[in-house]
Chains A and B, each alone.
Chain A
């Protein structure tokens, strides 16, 4: 992140330690994550010790300390989604992509995240792919979604012999 961009974000908020979380949100909105240099600059700008900045950034789940993949699959793990089988979706995503929750695939194409509730419980289980909502997701649907985004043709499973 350029010093200019940080300056813009800090503008009007310098030396206001209570603005730390708001400022970190803005940094992340711009960059997708919060790089170390940004934290150093925020520490200077707000007058908050770097230890405290790092601590806050590591405490709140909203903040990413490393870049996310191009496609962020967020699996809602709210109670309603859970009782409708969200766990299987998490297993599906991690198994299919071969990465752990919170990690990025080596090609940078995917990362898997979880959220505790998206507040669309009525339509669970929910998976969002970047900003797009997918509702009533099943392991099969998720697998096809990942295949499609990954550029592979999903296997033709729909119209097998149906006699």
Chain B
């Protein structure tokens, strides 16, 4: 096992998909099942208690949306930060390159 392979295992480790992924997949799968969807809608219409529950769920979803928005903003800032760090690292590496070459030439005057 060499170091590159170790590094690849680290870099390619499994990552969880974005939050809510499983829910979205299940919802999409559910959307394909027309018959069940229709029967659920019928059941929902028969029950006022379920309507209240749905209203409550909507309020919770809205509140959750606010939290989600803040998370998205934070994620955007983190991405911008990553770009900033990448830009500074590239700049640093190029400045070092120039410095090192100049230093090397200065230290080896006979070869110029």
Q: Do A and B come from one complex?
A: no
Q: Residues of B with Cβ closer than 8 Å to A?
A: none
